[in-house]
Amino acid sequence: MRTVLLTGFEPFDQDPINPSWEAVKALDQTLIKEDVRIVSRQLPCVFSQAPTRLLDLLVSFQPELVIAVGLGPGRTDISIERVAINLNDARIPDNLGEQPIDTPVVCGGPAAYFSTLPIKAMARALKAEGIPASVSQTAGTFVCNQVFYCLQHALTGSGVRSGFIHVPYLPQQAGLAPQPVASMSLATQVQGLRVAIITALETVDDLHETGGQVS
């Protein structure tokens, strides 16, 4: 049985839920194909702990595909990330109160890593299903980016495809926000991840079409 590893984050910033974990958890143990099983695990929203937990999961499950998922507050769609940068610059403290500013994710590591997922094919497949999606050019500088960078760093040269996806708030979170904010139902997020995984498994070469932004 082949394994797809999905990770989501615990709640952070005083929020009681994190849609990335809720969506990922819903797919745990799903047979995405007859010989491909999804394993979902939660990561701490803690700079000092998340990379170690991620590496332990890679060793334990030896997956052939890895997609880390995180909450993108203010995102309007399922955002498939293109690049992780070697920078921690936390706008808020993590769940242990740590707030690294202008520090490298990996000392001496390259400035950036690109996703090895077929990101444009995934975005197109999601939109074909009526699910809002796009290629994103920034994963931020919080724990999401740190995990994305560490994931790509760990799997460089392994042949294992990997990357990161941001999901929006859930409607119940948006309803509590002090001002209007985009959201997406949990069912849509779960279906979006399912489509993204299948596309990643079935697509050898990514599409050659625009996925960039003017600014």
**Residues designated as active site:** 81, 144, 166
Contact 96, 144 (CB under 8 A): no
Closest CA to 23 of 40, 11, 44, 37: 40
- Which residues are within 8 A (CB) of 184 and not within 5 positions of it... i.e. 6 or more apart? 19, 77, 78, 132, 167, 168, 169, 170, 171
Residue ranges in the chain assigned as alpha helix (H): 19-25, 50-61, 119-128, 143-155, 171-174, 186-202
- Residue 103's DSSP bridge partners are 88
Three-state DSSP class for 16?
A: coil
Q: How far apart are CA 185 and CA 23, in angstroms?
A: 10
Query: To 10 degrees, what angle do helices 50-61 and 143-155 make?
Result: 40
Residue with tokens 């997956």: 63
